[in-house]
Amino acid sequence: MEGDFRDGGDEKAADDAWADELIERARARTAGDTPGPVAGQAPPSPAAGTSQGIPDTPAAVPAAPAAPEEPLERRPPLVTFEDLHGSSGAFPALPAEQTPEAVPEFTQQVPAGPPAQNQPDPMRQVDLGIPGPAISIRKAAVEWGSVIVGALVMALLVKAYLFQAFYIPSPSMEPTLGNGDRIIVNKLSYRLHQVNRGDVVVFEAPPGAVNGVEDLIKRVIALPGETISAEAGRLRIDGGLLLEPYLVAQDLTSGFTLPPGCLNPSGTADTCLVPPGHVFVLGDNRTNSKDGRFFGPIPEDSILGRAFLRVWPLGDIGRL
């Protein structure tokens, strides 16, 4: 009885050791490690197993109930090429390469066949209508000539009908105008209105008035039909005293005898009756001016225009 009990206990211990080793190997295989000996136990001897009648193969040993294993951590599945493009494994076909079109060459093609003497010269110059140097010079000369002629015609028209510049050659109009001043005369003024008292006018010089001078500039003092007289260096128009703010002094006008052209039936000195269509003119420099006191009234038709602007010297530019 005791011997059977010992034999039965040893066999049970061997079965337990073999089951533990099998479980350890399974765990090691799952973890990827090599199984080792179980702690606290010696590896079973094949001889002992043989002597005890333990079978060498696992199939002969009844499987012991396995201990519950801990759940293993599972990795996320990998995405493969088959998942993306199917199970065929073939790569998608690439688009076919297109052959670039040939760039046309802009060269002159010489046709083949006709004789060489009849073929066009590839280097032949083509007339594009661009004017040559001679034509350009001629065209420029015509253009500049037209501009110059047009400017001259315009200047002549302006001088004849609108404006004209004059040069003051004497001090007879001082202090209003000095010797050497330049003025602009408006020739259109008296085509629009009558001559006014106090106007500075340019007129044709009467015969024998001043030698070598064609035009004179003076101030209008008396109008047609008025009587002008001098008294104590002052002028009177139809008996009324004339105020002349443009003079240096008011009593510088010297008396005059009966000038030619005056209508003065009584023959009184220092008096002149201005005939119709005439005006009586005097210079502002009464002590140094040869004016109506010497050559008498002038015709209105002889007046070239009214001086309205001084343009020289530059510091004295202004209206008259």
Q: Which member of 170, 189, 218, 289 is catalytic?
A: 218
Dist. CA 232–CA 251, nearest whole Å: 7
Beta bridge partners of 271: 229
Q: Is 218 a catalytic residue?
A: yes
Ordered DSSP codes for the chain: -HHHHHHHHHHHHHHHHHHHHHHHHHHHHHHT----PPTT-PPPPHHHHHHHT--SSGGGSPPPPPPPPPPPPPPPPPPPHHHHH-TT-PPPPPPPPPPPPPPPP------SSS-GGGSPPTT---------HHHHHHHHHHHHHHHHHHHHHHHHHHHHHTEEEEE--SSTTTTTS-TT-EEEEESSHHHHS---TT-EEEEEPPTTSSTT--EEEEEEEE-TT-EEEEETTEEEETTEEPP-TTSS-TT-PPP----TT---TT--TTEEEPPTTEEEEE-SSTTS---HHHH--EEGGGEEEEEEEEEESGGG-EE-
Place of tokens 């008498």: 296
172, 189, 229, 289: the catalytic one is 172
Catalytic residues: 172, 218
